[in-house]
Amino acid sequence: MLNQVVLLGRLGIELIRDYGKAGQLLFHVIFRLPNFRKGFPLVLQQIYAEGVLSLIIIIVSSLFIGMVVALQGYHTLAKFGASAELGPLVALSVVRELGPVVTGLLFAGRAGSAVTAEIGLMKATEQLSSMEMMAVNPVHRVISPRLWGGFISMPLLTIIFNMTAIYGAYLVGVKWLGLDAGVFWSNMQSSVDFHADLLNGIIKSVVFGFVVAWISVYQGYFAEPTSAGIASATTRTVVYSSLAILGLDFVLTAMMIGGW
Amino acid sequence: MDNNLVEVTNLHFKRNGRPIFNGVDIVIPRGKIVAIMGPSGTGKTTLLRLIGGQLQPASGKIIVAGQDIHQLSLSELYKLRKKMGMLFQSGGLFTHLNVFENVAFPLREHTQLSEKMIRSLVLMKLQMVGLRGARDLMPSELSGGMARRVALARAIALDPALIMYDEPLSGQDPISMGVLIKLIRAINNALGLTSIIVSHDVQETLSIADYVYVISDGKLIGEGMADAITRDPSEKLQQFLHGIPDGPVPFHYPAVNFEQDLMREGE
């Protein structure tokens, strides 16, 4: 019994220590004077690596998700003679929930895991140590651009996800099932509010982007520098990011519906 | 000017509760090649990391270029590190950059030199290590010996006062080993550097070292010029220098009596 209490206490201390280390890392990234001449190209590179290279998975997934939502929605709405409401159904589902959440999950799986594995491998192959010995701070040179790159990429990917998913729904609803294009678009336009729907969805994506990028760099930077250590750090990135996205989504939705 | 570039005094260091250094004193005079030798796992690489300020000792003092390295602020430490170069065992080359960009990295980070000047300096450093022709290769295309030579060129890019070599010769074929030994000596003399070599390749290291320290079980077990070290009567030292499998450094990891262990029922 006492051993279990000791074990629980140790786990608690380790958890607090981990949060402390993650907070310290974030502090060093955020609260420093930016060096635009050196930092901007590095952030751009990361937007390419984390954002542009994630485009294919985001576009393909969002197209199919939009098509499936339209197909399911059309047949359900048709039962109540409300198939004209397909546009609003799809748009609201996508911009409020599916866009930020699914983009976040895909982003964690595609870019977050890659960032963790890359940083972990740099650590294992002494690249971070050699950087330190060359008087270059790896937190500024490696961690910071990756965190900002992820933070900037996520909302942009979410916007692309939203557009492609709605286009997928248009293909199914209008081109395949024969819904009138004017009805589809005009109902969507009249039902979607810029602030309550679009902007709130983007705010969610900003929060998810920040959290996924933070988890990814933290897991990579503090990964055990062995092949097993990097593998488990990569897994943790995907698991923790996914749980954080889903948990935060509930909190943010509750706040937004409650009018903040 | 102080004659010693590095002074390690009464160094104590523990890892996971296990003592690694137990009162070690080492002096590295300017302009010399000093070898720190010892069996695997004695903390030779740890010592380099302590000198470079990457690890904190439990107690003791490490003075580098007149400054207590563990009392410096981060910015002061980074300023001092610009005067240090370190060659890591794995090379530590940036895998996303080619050979040229790897060597140019410290120059781009710490100087405002023009692209033309950086190019000239990088080519000069690569010429010194004989790899000017490999400037466009990626680290994955280099052999182990070549990677270490590129890392060496990068380590001397800022013309440091001190260069630390972590196992520069381990795992190298005889030709690469010969090339690296020649380079370490040539670079030390040509650039007026002070070099610390951590190694367990006895003969090769003794052939270039001006002074040798041998560490085992967290303590110095011998020191002196290469000739004197080889004549030292210490049993422990002789076991290490001649690679005798059993002796004061036991072949067997501490364990209970073998017969008792065999007779013990399944645990």
Among chain A residues, CA nearest to B158: A134
What ipTM did this prediction achieve? Answer: 0.83
Residue B116: its pLDDT value, please? Answer: 94
CB spacing of B92 vs A137 below 8 angstroms: no
Beta strands in chain B (DSSP E): 4-15, 18-29, 33-37, 59-64, 67-68, 84-87, 162-166, 194-199, 211-216, 219-224
Does the pLDDT value for residue B200 go beyond 90?
no
Mean pLDDT is lowest, of A41-55, B28-42, B239-253, for: B239-253
Among chain B residues, CA nearest to A137: B78
Residue A249: its pLDDT value, please? Answer: 95
Cβ-based contacts of B110 with chain A (< 8 Å): 135
Does the pLDDT value for residue B254 go beyond 90?
no
Instruction: Report yes or no: A205 and A99 within 8 Å, Cβ to Cβ.
Output: yes
Residue B211: its pLDDT value, please? Answer: 92
Does the pLDDT value for residue B83 go beyond 60?
yes
Sign of CA dihedral B106, B108, B114, B120: positive
Residue B94: its pLDDT value, please? Answer: 93
Q: What is the mean pLDDT of residues B131-154?
A: 91
Residue B244: its pLDDT value, please? Answer: 82
Cβ-based contacts of B109 with chain A (< 8 Å): 38, 134-136, 141
For the packed helices A200-221 and A99-107, what is the interaxial angle rounded to 10 degrees?
A: 10
Residue A260: its pLDDT value, please? Answer: 57
Cβ-based contacts of A126 with chain B (< 8 Å): 88-92
Between B263 and A210, the more confident residue is A210
Mean pLDDT across chain A, nearest whole number?
A: 93
pTM listed for this prediction:
0.86
Does the pLDDT value for residue B261 go beyond 90?
no
CB spacing of A133 vs B106 below 8 angstroms: no
Separation of alpha carbons B100 and B126, rounded Å: 8
CA distance A156 to chain B (A): 26
Entry field: residues in chain B: 267
Residue B267: its pLDDT value, please? Answer: 56
Does the pLDDT value for residue B250 go beyond 80?
no
Q: Which of A129, A135, A141 comes nearest B92 by C-beta?
A: A129
Does the pLDDT value for residue B187 go beyond 90?
no
Mean pLDDT across chain B, nearest whole number?
A: 88
* CA angle A182–A76–A245, rounded 5-degree value: 90
For A114-173, write each residue's pLDDT tens digit.
Answer: 999 999 999 999 999 999 999 999 999 999 999 999 999 999 999 999 999 999 999 999
The most confident of A73-77, B175-179, B247-251, by mean pLDDT: A73-77
Residue B1: its pLDDT value, please? Answer: 53
CB spacing of B109 vs A136 below 8 angstroms: yes
CA distance A141 to chain B (A): 10
Cβ-based contacts of B79 with chain A (< 8 Å): 135
pLDDT band, residue B266 (cuts 50/70/90): low
What is the percentage of chain A residues whose pLDDT exceeds 90? 87
Is residue B144 less than 8 Å (CB to CB) from chain A?
A: no
Residue A237: its pLDDT value, please? Answer: 96
Residue B41: its pLDDT value, please? Answer: 80
Residue B89: its pLDDT value, please? Answer: 85
- How many beta-carbon contacts under 8 Å exist across A and B? 51
What is the percentage of chain A residues whose pLDDT exceeds 70? 99
For B85-110, write each residue's pLDDT tens digit.
Answer: 899 888 889 999 999 999 999 999 99
| Helix extents (H) in A31-143 | 36-46, 55-79, 86-92, 99-107, 113-124, 127-133, 138
> CB neighbours of B50 closer than 8 A, spacing ≥ 6?
B8, B11, B13, B56, B57, B62
The single-letter DSSP state of residue A194 is: I
Residue of B105, B140, B148 for testing the chain A interface, max A β-carbons within 10 Å: B105
Q: Is B69 helix (H, G, I), strand (E, B) or coil?
A: helix
Instruction: Report yes or no: A99 and A220 within 8 Å, Cβ to Cβ.
Output: no
Instruction: Report yes or no: B47 and B91 within 8 Å, Cβ to Cβ.
Output: no
* Interior/surface letters B96-110, b for 16+ CB within 10 angstroms, e for the rest: eebbbbbbbbbbbbe
pLDDT band, residue A39 (cuts 50/70/90): confident
CA distance B62 to chain A (A): 16
Residue A43: its pLDDT value, please? Answer: 94
Q: Which of B81, B89, B95 comes nearest A133 by C-beta?
A: B81
What is the percentage of chain B residues whose pLDDT exceeds 90? 40
The structure tokens listed for B219 are 């303590």
Entry field: residues in chain A: 260
CA distance B158 to chain A (A): 9
Separation of alpha carbons A215 and A112, rounded Å: 8
Is residue B94 less than 8 Å (CB to CB) from chain A?
A: yes
Residue B129: its pLDDT value, please? Answer: 86
Cβ-based contacts of A122 with chain B (< 8 Å): 95
Does the pLDDT value for residue A259 go beyond 80?
no
B21: Cα separation from own chain's centroid: 16
For B109-126, write each residue's pLDDT tens digit.
Answer: 999 899 999 999 999 999
